[in-house]
Amino acid sequence: MNTADPVPFDQLGLSQPVLRALADVGYEAPSPIQAETIPLLLQGRHVVGLAQTGTGKTAAFALPILSQLDLASKKPQALVLAPTRELALQVSEAFERYAHHIKGLHVLPVYGGQGYGVQLSALRRGVHVVVGTPGRVMDHLEKGTLDLSELRFVVLDEADEMLNMGFAEDVDTILSGTPAEKQVALFSATMPPAIRRIARRHAPDAAEVTVKASTRTATNVAQRYLYVAHSNKLDALTRILEVENFEAMIVFVRTKQATEELAERLRARGFSATAINGDIAQNQRERTVEQLRKGKLDILVATDVAARGLDVERVSHVVNYDIPTDVESYVHRIGRTGRAGRSGDAISFVTPREKGLLRSIEKHTRSTVVEMRLPTVEDVNATRVAKFNEAITAALGDAQLGLFRELVSAYENEHDVPIRDVAAAIAVLAQDGEPLLLTPEPPAPPRARPAAQSGLMRWRIAVGKRHRVEPRQIVGALANEGGLRRGDFGKIDIMPGFSIVELPDLSGDQLAALAHTRISGVLIDIRPDSGPSRAPRREGGPRKSFDTKPRKKPRHGS
């Protein structure tokens, strides 16, 4: 798809409340998958999308669904299935954000690890959109607490990951119990035969949308990232601006409003910065870019669309103040530096919740993004002292030096003040009331030593080799439904008819959450292991033993 002239959101057929919400968050133009998928879903077509994580697919299905919901009905009209609780929460939050101006619309995330009470109360009051993991959705269907009789839209998000985690039978069961006239949207990074079978059965004659993001990054651009909380981004950027040796910089944010706010804050801190976004007139945009090119401006705070086609050789650094949600935008952004064969630097701020975006960028660009250290107070002060010394050296060659030497000598003789004190006083005047050095950070209070972790217990679940179960399916199901982390798992022994899993002592709430959990369609019937984990000899074959302590990061969240 040609992204040089993206179609505006207001020409895709979305409802006015949805368009108002997009204006609020400052989205300027749809991504390729949004531009292709939204019209198809508004036409009532089934859609099968081959799209990587981080291509903007959540908005691709959320926006058209929200534009078509009937608020008079209190039964769920849209169901989104996601492989992990983290993704379910992210999708739910996105729906809430895009539905800000749709009064009376209710979105409910359902996932393991959360008490049933909250979910049951919301379902009784009435919800329009349910976003959930397959296991918890199956639980509600079996209990009769989730009524899908008026369902109009079903979305399978990251379908291949759901199948990898052992949810194939659950997904098929859920889809088979929904109205025949529903509309299905299926998104997957890969399209293995199992996904194709689901699509043929539940989304016949679906329109296929394939979005291939640009995945090549310039080899002359050094890519780094910094883990930082959202509330600390401005201070982190300020330190980087003081310490990094940059010529000109583009700082990317997600929304138009953010460009103005950040540029104003940077100017208040003494930096030469201005904003550029879709609301800036073309002649003003050209003047701003020319100022950047000629060195009259050092920092440009921009959105993706506003920076499209921007080519200024002087730009030595790009900072992703807000990391992009799709790989193509990342490639485009960092391509604004390292022009004309010069080297460049790209720094991305990553909040704890955005680690998945970073991994996706590394995977699909086949590049390494190196973690950087936040410059310390000592680093900033050393830089300031060096610049102070450079300023003195430069001033020694100024034509007015002779005049000021006479004035200082006269002051020294008249007031009997040492020349060093006079020079220091002049330096204080030059600071105009601002301190030269940052105040060292107070030492962190001593942290209490964590209590020693108790030993893991052995738990028995009623699925094994004959059910073709794999460790990743066990970890995925127990983590999602039982509120467990990846580090909570010890060894997993898979026998022919059951498996033994090393876990912490589970709480009553966790056991209740796991009571209806299925793996490969079989209730796991989890209970403490009361005997040796040896398979009866008649069942034959050695048992499989897996050490789940990861050698590399797991593919899915806990």
Token pair of 205, please? 């004659």
**49 three-state secondary structure:** strand
**299 three-state secondary structure:** strand
DSSP H or E run through 318 = strand 315-320
Q: What sign for the dihedral angle of Cα 112, 101, 321, 367?
A: positive
pLDDT at 446: 54
DSSP symbol at 73: -
β-pair type (344-350, 221-227): parallel
- Average confidence (pLDDT) per 10 residues, the chain, 558 residues: 64 94 80 91 94 75 96 94 85 92 93 83 93 92 93 93 85 93 91 88 91 65 93 94 94 92 94 89 84 93 79 91 85 82 89 86 86 91 91 92 92 92 91 84 53 69 88 85 80 90 87 85 88 43 46 40
Token pair of 312, please? 């200024």
pLDDT at 216: 59
**Quick check: 105 and 99 in contact, CB under 8 A?**
yes
User: How far apart (Å, rounded) are the C-alpha atoms in residues 331 and 324?
Assistant: 10
User: How far apart (Å, rounded) are the C-alpha atoms in residues 65 and 95?
Assistant: 9
499 phi and psi angles, rounded to 5 deg: -140, 150
Token pair of 272, please? 């030469």
pLDDT at 41: 96
Q: Which of 236, 253, 227 is nearest to 320 (CA)?
A: 253
**Quick check: 556 and 83 in contact, CB under 8 A?**
yes
β-pair type (522-523, 518-519): antiparallel
pLDDT at 536: 40
User: How far apart (Å, rounded) are the C-alpha atoms in residues 158 and 53?
Assistant: 8
pLDDT at 341: 66
Strands (E) in 487-543, as ranges, are 491-494, 499-503, 518-519, 522-523, 527-528
DSSP H or E run through 461 = strand 457-461
User: How far apart (Å, rounded) are the C-alpha atoms in residues 109 and 450?
Assistant: 33
Q: Which of 182, 171, 193 is nearest to 148 (CA)?
A: 182
The number of angstroms, rounded, from the C-alpha of 323 to the middle of its chain's C-alpha atoms is: 7
pLDDT at 449: 40
Alpha helices, DSSP H, located in 177-230? 193-202
- 419-445 b/e (C-beta count within 10 Å ≥ 16 → b): eeebeeeeeeeeeeeeeeeeeeeeeee
Q: Which of 542, 461, 547, 457 is nearest to 497 (CA)?
A: 461
The number of angstroms, rounded, from the C-alpha of 54 to the middle of its chain's C-alpha atoms is: 8
pLDDT at 165: 81
pTM of the model: 0.53
Strands (E) in 213-282, as ranges, are 221-227, 248-252, 273-276
Q: Which of 522, 494, 513, 397 is nearest to 114 (CA)?
A: 513
384 phi and psi angles, rounded to 5 deg: -65, -40
